[in-house]
Structure 1
Amino acid sequence: MDTHRAFEYSLVLKNIGKVESIGTWNNNLIASLANGSLIQYQIERISENFEFQAKEIRNIPKFTKKGITQMSIIKPKSILIALFDSTVQLFNLKSMKPLDILCSKKALLFSFNQKKSLCIGLKTKLLIFKWGNNTFENTINITIPTIPKTLDWFKSTKICIGFKKEYILLNLKDNSMDQLFALTKNINPISTKISDEEILLGKEKICYFKNPNGKASRNYGINWSDSPQNIYYFQPYLLGIFSNGIRVRTLNTKKLVQNIEIPVARSFCIGEKNNVNFAYTFNKEGIWRLNEIPLLVQVDMLCYEHNYEEALQLCQLVDTLDEVNKKAKFKTIKIDYAFYLFTQRKFGQAMEFFREVDCDPRIALSLFPSLVPPEVYKGLTTPIVENKELNENEQQDAILSLIDYLLQTRNSREIKKKKNSLEILKVIDTVLVKSYMQTNVSYVAPFLRIPNWCDLEECEKIFTERELETELIELYKTNGKHEKALILVEKKSKKTGDITIFVEYLCSLGRDHLELIFEYSKKLNQIDPNQCLKVFTYETNDEEELMDNQIPSRDLPRFLVKNFLQESLPNLIIPYLEYVIFQKNDSTPDFHNDLLLFYYGQTKSIQDLLKNSLSDEEKKNKLQVSKQKYIEKIKNFTKSSKYYLPQKMLDRFPEDDFYEERAIFFSRVGKHEMALNIYVNKLNNLEKAEKYCIEQYRKDGKTQDIFLILIKKILNSHPNKNKNKNQAIINSVIKIINKHFTKINPLKVIQILPKDLNLSEILVYLKLIIQNNTEIKRRLTITKNLQKSAHLNLRAKITKKSKKCICIDQNVLCQVCGKRIGDSIIGLFPNGVYTHMSCIQNKHICPKTNENFSIYSENFY
């Protein structure tokens, strides 16, 4: 393929005389000669070698007095604007008949824009015209300081004027002029319009971009090796005119694209046919034609030269492609560019382009044959590049760049939308593992801990060959091969003597792997029961751990765990139930029942051991301490727990032991008499019995006579008592009735006291009863009188309010709406407010003060 060129060019007309100006219209070329003749040619291409034939179709001698020095064509109107002999005149292009003369003398140059505005420059004046009524109409005349050399429009309100010493920005709204920048001596101003928002101005060897506000529109200029004679914009290129030819540059990259050997070219005119742009220019040899090479062809040329940056810039300007095809072209160029960058050892930039175009990652992986077998990217289109073998350092840099690319790609949303996303992810993650193995093996295990799609067999083979136990365990774990992983974990724990990894692995398994947990916890229990317990009690909702997927949040089914521990690991059942009840606040009755019974079972077991350890004093002491610990646990738990079934406990606990606990069980089932019987007759502890009655007493409940039950139990205890004991019992009873006289019915207690009891012994009790009843009666009387007084006061207020009279005639105004009451029905409230009945929303509430009179609602109408 040829090297990149922007234009093809050839001499289409020669030996036609001295040309003053040219123009193009409907594929016709119009040339004005110095003698005033006007010639129109039809230009046709006659070969693939850029040869053209010019056919003369019109020749008008003496069309103007002198040659036309500047011409412009208004194509929609078929009008020619011509400047000749200091005159600006309009001509009809079809008939070449003269039309209006816009300026008859002193005209130097003009500028026409597509907003139908025309500016004619005189020596010290500008004439501004607007199109209207099929011709131009003069609207403004503006005085300027000196002779204009260049004129360029910004939209329809601003004009950039180039003078000999400076560039000026003229604002037509207020005729103000602002200097853009000054020029050095002996340098003529040159300019070309880029768009309505941008113009390019020359100053010696540099051209500057300006916007309509006079500011720089770009942060760079166009640099030339020497000062151009003129400049023209031929999208997307800038043409610089020099004595030895035309230099073609791009605006965006400023790169010199082509040198066209047309010396001292003048007066460019641009046309278009069949989506191909072309231009004409002339010099002393004749008239030349420049055809723009189709942009897509130029793009391919640039890619062939590995000038991908320029190709991407140019591809943006291609208007012969729809958005879909243009996007596909961009993608192809960037992939080619990425491959080229890779061959230039610019690995990071190459991977960035792969990521940017969101191509199939396997295309990028084709650059790494040592990591990916060819069948992975078989069927994919990949560029053919000459790639020299990478040395060791280059290979490391390339793989590190690949790792960054793959990590970003695997986490992108787009990859998961692809049809074969799982296949691609499998390739990516497997290559990532291989890449880590070649760069930093310590990254492999952390990578495997996150959800991944690694090829199990391939990675298993790699880790096995390298004897990487940790990595192999993580591989099995993330792929659900937990039994294989646990075999390795157990082996590693025995070898290192550290069971931490064993515990953590079992903790990471959830309810879906209960069989494995149960099986391997038996082995762990033989090593360390405390660590084994963690397997069943460890739970976490820590966000960081969950994010890292180190130990998932879980809650093993407690009934299944309890049954397993009870059957296989009985040494852990009590601590497990304690964890479930005390830490997890589980209120399941079965758990509470079981824990209490396990406590009791431990005391019995210890008691049996004590019988067999009578000779071993040290062992006996340890057993006694252990027994006491469980007895305390039973006491505390029977009092604190509300969820065990007391009737079940009564059936299981012995009648001749754990009296206090049985008393609590009796109280839970409402058998208070049985509970008090234990405190009085089994424990002989009246203090606890009295405390029990205080806790259970409810004035208006079923236990309002609980103290009577206690007294009966005390009096009936020790039936064969002697006189001293009898007196002690009587004293205890009297002490209780004196202390709790407000909670005991005096009539009922007197009936159960011994008949031979002296009145003097209960005299204090009787006095307390009488005083208490008197106090109660006095308080009730006071309350009754206060209520009666309040009632009388309220009646007096009602009576007073009821007797109040208000005189209302037709002129009285409503106190709510402010209108006359007239003959309307009236509402009167106890506070004196009167109003229309229609103004009252609630008859109990005053609409003016919002007072509520519902307690005497029948008295305010």
Structure 2
Amino acid sequence: MHDAFEHVPILEKLPLQIDCLAAWEEWLLVGTKQGHLLLYRIKKDIENNIYVHDLLTFQQITTVSKAKGASLFTCDLQHSDNGEEVLRMCVAVRKKLQLYFWKDREFHELQGDFSVPDVPKSMAWCENSICVGFKRDYYLIRVDGKGSIKELFPTGKQLEPLVAPVADGKVAVGQDDLTVVLNEEGVCTQKCALNWTDIPIAMEHQPPYIIAVLPRYVEIRTFEPRLLVQSIELQRPRFITSGGTNIIYVASNHFVWRLIPVSIATQIQQLLQDKQFELALQLAEMKDDSDSEKRQQIHHIKNLFAFNLFCQKRFDESMQVFAKLGTDPTHVMGLYPDLLPTDYRKQLQYPNPLPGLSGAELEKAHLALIDYLTQKRSQLVKKLNDSDHQSSTSPLMEGTPTIKSKKKLLQIIDTTLLKCYLHTNVALVAPLLRLENNHCHIEESEHVLKKAHKYSELIILYEKKGLHEKEVWCGLNWNDSHACKGINLSVCLKALQVLVDQSKKANSPLKGHERTVQYLQHLGAENLHLVFSYSVWVLRDYPEDGLK
């Protein structure tokens, strides 16, 4: 939980009993049980003091004579694409609904009256529908000229319906201590209902928060993620109204309070400390910062969010966020044990200690990393021949070094994929090594393959790398690539030595002479001295195959 709002008293010990409340920007309207309509102008000075101005007289514009006997009304302000605004009103008169629109300082009938099953007790517009709560059930009435009615569900044990408009033309509907959000078709748009700590009396949506008046306090929650954000204890609150963005009033019978939002920057700071990254992101999107500052903060929060998902063992979700962010893949690899050289791994910084991974959990994490690295590899290979040889990755934590060279990054990715395949699915090692554009680092790959006793795959590595200049691991100083150069002779000699050694081992996949013959056949005329040197034992033991 964190503080999203502070409450400030606006009216105290009003001698009249408050019966309803409405607001528009700086204007607050208070209706009383005795029949008074009080209009206040709420101003906030630069010193954050609150001043209340009481306007004693205001002129009546018009009367909707047909609506005599009205018990309830709800309004909806529509904004058209060409900038026009249309105010619609629905009025409940006994068991009928009357529809009006505002034009030339008067309300005009929108269409004919609708007959409804009972006297409405709560209602709100929902795009081109009206959600109506009766004593026992909720209904959805289409404003389509026909007045088609759809029965939704019971009001609950309390028999007190509660319908409140929310953003995007939807409505929040209460059933005892639960609240669901419906669209104009009456379809629930949230996976789960909100669960309040008591039965709400009234509700107001102030994105990203939904605020409910409960019998003893005001409770503030969010739809997504589903969080209890704050509870504000007030003396028997009954009413709530919004006058626009960040303008919320709550009233009891004789008191009125204003809920003033805590600054977004302060809220974000609290939320990051509590690891509530999804809500922090929603608030960051609402800030009035410059575009570049907003992007930078959102990027930082998303990196923290991805890291936290990883710490929660939600590996697939974490990798998806990192992939969208363009985070340096080596910083993602550094989340795992034994994938990066120790010296480079020590340079990486993370927000919190990394989780310990082993067994099935580590395998699950490796599988998520394989999907992520395969995607990154595909993107890099496509851009490898671009004129710009620098990668455009960003650090997980500011100030941490990143890999600039695309070739170096590809080399690290392929070598890491090799290690992951050895942990999860050995059958994928050979296909990776056979790729024409395989960038596996020979020394490091040689080390892990020998350690895993994968000698057939080691020969594939030598066969592919023997056709190119040798690149030495160089202790993996991961800054700009300083590849040590050598001739392919050393790679061929290593391969041949492994073939000779493994040919004599009973359980080795390289047992016998066939792989040696195949390898020697591909060396070519320029390496005849190697063919003559390493074919002696084959000619001696298998003369027919040797002469081939």
Structure 1 and Structure 2 fold alike (TM over 0.5): yes
CA gap of 1:414–1:201, structure 2 versus 1, over 3 A, is farther
Is 1:303 matched up with 2:287?
no
Cα contact 1:153–1:196 (8 A) shared by 2:
no
Match of 1:477 among 463, 466, 482: 463
For 1:385, the equivalent position in structure 2 comes to: 352
For 2:507, the equivalent position in structure 1 comes to: none
For 1:98, the equivalent position in structure 2 comes to: 60
Cα contact 1:406–1:432 (8 A) shared by 2:
no
Is 1:54 matched up with 2:51?
yes
CA gap of 1:40–1:341, structure 2 versus 1, over 3 A, is closer
CA distance in 1 between partners of 2:342 and 2:382 (Å): 23
Match of 1:214 among 172, 186, 195: 186
CA distance in 2 between partners of 1:159 and 1:52 (Å): 40
Is 1:188 matched up with 2:160?
yes
CA gap of 1:202–1:22, structure 2 versus 1, over 3 A, is closer
CA distance in 1 between partners of 2:158 and 2:448 (Å): 77
CA distance in 2 between partners of 1:505 and 1:236 (Å): 66
Is 1:339 matched up with 2:326?
no
CA gap of 1:298–1:478, structure 2 versus 1, over 3 A, is farther
Please list the CA deviations of residues 490-539 of structure 1 after superposition, one character each: whole Å capped at 9, or x if unmatched: 44555536332222224445xxx5412585268648816754675xxxxx
Please list the CA deviations of residues 825-844 of structure 1 after superposition, one character each: whole Å capped at 9, or x if unmatched: xxxxxxxxxxxxxxxxxxxx
CA distance in 1 between partners of 2:11 and 2:71 (Å): 28
Look up the SS of the partner of 1:112 in the other structure: strand
- Write 1 or 2 for the structure with the bigger share of helix: 1
- TM superposition shift of 1:288: 1.0
One-letter amino acid of the counterpart of residue 305, structure 1: D
CA distance in 2 between partners of 1:517 and 1:8 (Å): 86
One-letter amino acid of the counterpart of residue 503, structure 1: V
- TM superposition shift of 1:122: 1.9
CA gap of 1:127–1:44, structure 2 versus 1, over 3 A, is same
Match of 1:11 among 1, 9, 12: 9
CA gap of 1:517–1:131, structure 2 versus 1, over 3 A, is farther
- Write 1 or 2 for the structure with the bigger share of strand: 2
CA distance in 2 between partners of 1:6 and 1:215 (Å): 30
Please list the CA deviations of residues 169-210 of structure 1 after superposition, one character each: whole Å capped at 9, or x if unmatched: 333412343332334565211101125642222222323333
Is 1:502 matched up with 2:516?
yes
- The within-5 A match list for 1:122-271 is 122-139=93-110, 140-155=112-127, 157-172=128-143, 173-183=145-155, 187-195=159-167, 197-271=169-243
* Number of matched pairs: 484
CA distance in 2 between partners of 1:521 and 1:341 (Å): 58
- TM superposition shift of 1:395: 8.5
Tell me whether 175-184 or 236-245 shows the greater mean CA deviation.
Answer: 175-184
- TM superposition shift of 1:217: 3.9
- TM superposition shift of 1:34: 5.2
Please list the CA deviations of residues 452-483 of structure 1 after superposition, one character each: whole Å capped at 9, or x if unmatched: 32334445566789998656544443323542
- The within-5 A match list for 1:399-798 is 400-401=366-367, 404-405=370-371, 407-413=373-379, 417=383, 418=391, 420-433=405-418, 447-450=432-435, 451-459=437-445, 473-479=459-465, 480=468, 482-495=488-501, 496=503, 498-508=512-522, 513-516=524-527, 520=531, 524=535, 527=539, 531=545
CA gap of 1:477–1:218, structure 2 versus 1, over 3 A, is same
Cα contact 2:284–2:297 (8 A) shared by 1:
no
For 1:632, the equivalent position in structure 2 comes to: none
Is 1:109 matched up with 2:75?
no
- The within-5 A match list for 1:42-81 is 42-44=42-44, 52-56=49-53, 58-60=54-56
CA distance in 2 between partners of 1:141 and 1:489 (Å): 90
For 1:24, the equivalent position in structure 2 comes to: 23
Look up the SS of the partner of 1:114 in the other structure: strand
**Structure with bigger gyration radius:** 1
One-letter amino acid of the counterpart of residue 5, structure 1: D
Cα contact 1:204–1:227 (8 A) shared by 2:
yes
CA gap of 1:489–1:333, structure 2 versus 1, over 3 A, is same
Look up the SS of the partner of 2:107 in the other structure: strand
Cα contact 2:370–2:420 (8 A) shared by 1:
no
Cα contact 1:165–1:182 (8 A) shared by 2:
yes
CA gap of 1:518–1:370, structure 2 versus 1, over 3 A, is closer
One-letter amino acid of the counterpart of residue 501, structure 1: R
Q: Which runs of 5+ in 1 are unaligned?
A: 64-95, 535-861
Look up the SS of the partner of 2:286 in the other structure: coil
Please list the CA deviations of residues 199-230 of structure 1 after superposition, one character each: whole Å capped at 9, or x if unmatched: 22222232333332334344532233432222
State the identity as a percent.
Answer: 25
CA gap of 1:395–1:483, structure 2 versus 1, over 3 A, is farther
CA distance in 2 between partners of 1:11 and 1:256 (Å): 24
- TM superposition shift of 1:384: 2.0
Please list the CA deviations of residues 77-108 of structure 1 after superposition, one character each: whole Å capped at 9, or x if unmatched: xxxxxxxxxxxxxxxxxxx3211111374222
- The within-5 A match list for 1:32-47 is 32-33=31-32, 36=36, 38-44=38-44
CA distance in 1 between partners of 2:149 and 2:374 (Å): 55
CA distance in 2 between partners of 1:487 and 1:184 (Å): 82
Cα contact 1:198–1:209 (8 A) shared by 2:
yes
One-letter amino acid of the counterpart of residue 27, structure 1: E
- TM superposition shift of 1:8: 2.6
Please list the CA deviations of residues 375-426 of structure 1 after superposition, one character each: whole Å capped at 9, or x if unmatched: 647887x4320346x3764895477347525642453325754352212122
Cα contact 2:238–2:251 (8 A) shared by 1:
yes
Please list the CA deviations of residues 229-259 of structure 1 after superposition, one character each: whole Å capped at 9, or x if unmatched: 2222222222222111111222233322221
Instruction: Please give the TM-score of this superposition, normalised by the length of structure 2.
Output: 0.74
Cα contact 1:11–1:289 (8 A) shared by 2:
yes
One-letter amino acid of the counterpart of residue 153, structure 2: F
CA distance in 2 between partners of 1:490 and 1:409 (Å): 35
CA gap of 1:348–1:507, structure 2 versus 1, over 3 A, is farther
CA distance in 2 between partners of 1:198 and 1:342 (Å): 34
CA gap of 1:395–1:40, structure 2 versus 1, over 3 A, is closer
- TM superposition shift of 1:120: 2.0
Q: CA-atom RMSD, angstroms?
A: 3.9
Match of 1:359 among 327, 345, 351: 327
Between 1 and 2, higher relative CO (CA 8 Å, sep ≥ 6) is seen in 2
Cα contact 1:10–1:290 (8 A) shared by 2:
yes
Please list the CA deviations of residues 768-790 of structure 1 after superposition, one character each: whole Å capped at 9, or x if unmatched: xxxxxxxxxxxxxxxxxxxxxxx
CA gap of 1:532–1:370, structure 2 versus 1, over 3 A, is same
Cα contact 1:430–1:455 (8 A) shared by 2:
yes
Tell me whether 395-404 or 251-260 shows the greater mean CA deviation.
Answer: 395-404
Cα contact 1:347–1:397 (8 A) shared by 2:
no
